[in-house]
């Protein structure tokens, strides 16, 4: 089996790259060990996050750092034995989260964030998934005046970027979310983002569109990937696949391929969990709601109300330790009438992250024809389609939609 390009990874990033390369006339084979959208792309809050102009930085509030250090937070959890391994990465993350570093990351990511909704909209429409797209934004809720006031200052800083939002008092929050309790005293309704009730279904829909247009999707183990004379190969269930070019879009598993090839890219993971619940009675949640003070999101999904947790620092493949779900659930019940759990056990995923808060998108410096696209730092679902566009433009010599300088693999 031969192709112009093999794309390793059928999450939202990989399938988007495959579609964009296909549109530009390349024959593409998409390879994954599982079906599309069944790993990290499945388990998020379903946000296409147009409002996140400023990336997720390492916290610098001493009180928050103490709370994290005690390891009792719903927002962050760590395996004690993993700290010596992750500490150098966290130190780089902390340094890059300085005022200057955060401004640089914001400037770099802005063109991608600006295009995230429109790029999803086009693919969703072409994939026949338009009913899944909800252009109603999401709500950031607050339990205390202190956190509310601080968030209002942060929101004000987004106005030069044209971000639209409504500031809500308690009555206005209840008007938009009648079943939220009075524990939430106010909110900020971010209006520009879009949401979907089943992000895994969106990734599967994009993969289906790729196949309908003549693309090939086969199961295979990316760890069998090898560099050959004049190209690359990987072993699939259909036999050996040879391609002139290759894309590594494996999210948190990308280092399984790039490390053996000699690349020292500081990819780490922030693990996260979710659980679905039936609402009690006739309760309805209309928007994803982020409980700022408690550090979790409730999102209306096809499967029920999804509670998503913050970050867990642990080895990627370590056994699940879903303590954050257990900590967040009683707090979530304080703000919304959750019923019984739907899932037999919490879902666990791994967010691929880099310490300067922006992904690697571009050529592999040591191997002509090899390309990287991973490390989207909480925004893989948001940025999948625009990443696909940018990488396809770079691979085909078109004018890129964003400056690739910021995303080059050799910046480390």
Residue 53 belongs to a domain with what CATH number?
A: 3.50.50.60
Are 220 and 117 contained in the same domain?
A: yes
Q: How confident is the model at residue 34 (pLDDT cuts 50, 70, 90)?
A: very high
CA distance 35 to 400: 30
pLDDT at 33 over 90: yes
Are 173 and 226 contained in the same domain?
A: no
Inside any domain, residue 17? yes
Are 156 and 294 contained in the same domain?
A: yes
Q: Give pLDDT, residue 285.
A: 98
Q: Give pLDDT, residue 62.
A: 87
Our count of domains for the chain comes to: 2
Are 214 and 309 contained in the same domain?
A: no
> Coil, strand or helix: which one is 347?
strand
Q: Give pLDDT, residue 120.
A: 98
pLDDT at 25 over 90: yes
Domain residues for the domain of 145 are 65-79+138-191+268-353
Q: Give pLDDT, residue 373.
A: 98
Q: Give pLDDT, residue 63.
A: 84
Tens of pLDDT along 265-298?
A: 999 999 999 999 999 999 999 999 999 999 999 9
Mean pLDDT of 346-371: 97
CA distance 364 to 261: 10
CA distance 251 to 361: 12
Tens of pLDDT along 44-91?
A: 999 999 999 999 999 888 888 888 999 988 999 999 999 999 999 999
Q: Give pLDDT, residue 149.
A: 97
DSSP state at residue 220: B
Are 365 and 292 contained in the same domain?
A: no
Inside any domain, residue 372? yes
Are 122 and 152 contained in the same domain?
A: no
User: What is the number of residues in the chain?
Assistant: 412
Are 238 and 358 contained in the same domain?
A: yes
Are 281 and 397 contained in the same domain?
A: no
Taking CA 37 as the corner, what is the angle to CA 254 and CA 300, rounded to the nearest 5 degrees?
125
Mean pLDDT of 331-338: 98
Are 69 and 148 contained in the same domain?
A: yes
- Among 353, 370, 389, the domain boundary falls at 353
Q: What rounded mean pLDDT belongs to the chain?
A: 97
Mean pLDDT of 343-361: 97
Inside any domain, residue 313? yes
Are 361 and 254 contained in the same domain?
A: yes
- Among 353, 369, 392, the domain boundary falls at 353
Q: What CATH number did the domain enclosing 162 receive? A: 3.30.9.10
Tens of pLDDT along 197-221?
A: 999 999 999 999 999 999 999 999 9
Tens of pLDDT along 120-147?
A: 999 999 999 999 999 999 999 999 999 9
Q: Is 35 in contact with 205 (CB distance < 8 Å)?
A: no
Inside any domain, residue 85? no
Inside any domain, residue 258? yes
Contacts of 216 (CB under 8 A, 6+ apart): 1, 3, 28, 29, 30
- Among 310, 334, 353, the domain boundary falls at 353
> Which tokens hold the place of 300?
């209306």
CA distance 336 to 339: 9
Inside any domain, residue 91? no
Are 182 and 282 contained in the same domain?
A: yes
Are 229 and 340 contained in the same domain?
A: no
Inside any domain, residue 89? no
337 conformational bin, left if phi > 0, alpha if psi -120 to 50, beta if neither: beta
Inside any domain, residue 86? no
């Amino acid at each position: 089996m031969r192709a112009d390009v093999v794309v390793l990874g059928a999450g939202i990033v990989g399938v988007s790259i495959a579609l964009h390369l296909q549109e530009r006339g390349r024959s593409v084979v998409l390879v994954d060990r599982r079906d599309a959208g069944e790993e990290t792309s499945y388990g998020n809050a379903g946000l296409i996050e147009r409002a996140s102009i400023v990336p997720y930085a390492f916290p610098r509030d001493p009180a928050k750092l103490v709370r994290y250090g005690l390891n009792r937070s719903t927002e962050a959890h760590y395996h004690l034995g993993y700290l010596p391994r992750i500490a150098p990465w966290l130190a780089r993350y902390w340094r890059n989260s300085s005022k200057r570093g955060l401004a640089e990351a914001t400037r770099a990511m802005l063109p991608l964030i600006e295009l995230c909704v429109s790029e999803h909209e086009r693919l969703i429409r072409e994939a026949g998934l338009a009913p899944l797209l909800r252009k109603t934004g999401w709500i950031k809720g607050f339990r205390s005046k202190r956190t509310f006031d601080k968030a209002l200052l942060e929101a004000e800083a987004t106005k030069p970027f044209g971000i639209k939002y409504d500031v809500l008092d308690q009555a206005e929050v209840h008007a938009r979310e009648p079943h939220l309790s009075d524990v939430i005293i106010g909110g900020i309704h971010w209006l520009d983002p879009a949401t979907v009730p089943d992000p895994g279904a969106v990734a599967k829909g994009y993969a289906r569109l790729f196949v309908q247009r003549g693309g090939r999707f086969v199961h295979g183990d990316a760890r069998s990937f090898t560099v050959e004379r004049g190209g690359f190969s990987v072993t699939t269930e259909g036999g050996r696949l040879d391609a002139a070019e290759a894309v590594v879009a494996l999210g948190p598993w990308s280092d399984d391929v790039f490390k053996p090839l000699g690349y020292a890219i500081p990819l780490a993971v922030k693990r996260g969990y979710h659980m679905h619940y039936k609402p009690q009675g006739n309760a309805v949640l209309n928007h994803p709601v982020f409980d700022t003070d408690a550090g979790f999101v409730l999102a209306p999904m096809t499967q029920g109300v999804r509670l998503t947790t913050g970050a867990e620092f642990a080895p990627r493949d370590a056994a699940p330790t879903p303590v954050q779900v257990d900590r967040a659930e009683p707090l979530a019940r304080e703000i919304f009438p959750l019923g019984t759990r739907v899932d037999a056990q919490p879902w666990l995923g791994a967010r691929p992250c880099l310490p300067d808060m922006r992904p690697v998108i571009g050529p592999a410096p040591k191997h002509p024809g090899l390309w990287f696209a991973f490390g989207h730092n909480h925004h893989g679902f948001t940025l999948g389609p625009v990443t696909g566009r940018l990488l396809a433009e770079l691979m085909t010599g078109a004018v890129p939609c964003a400056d690739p300088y910021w995303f080059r693999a050799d910046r480390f």
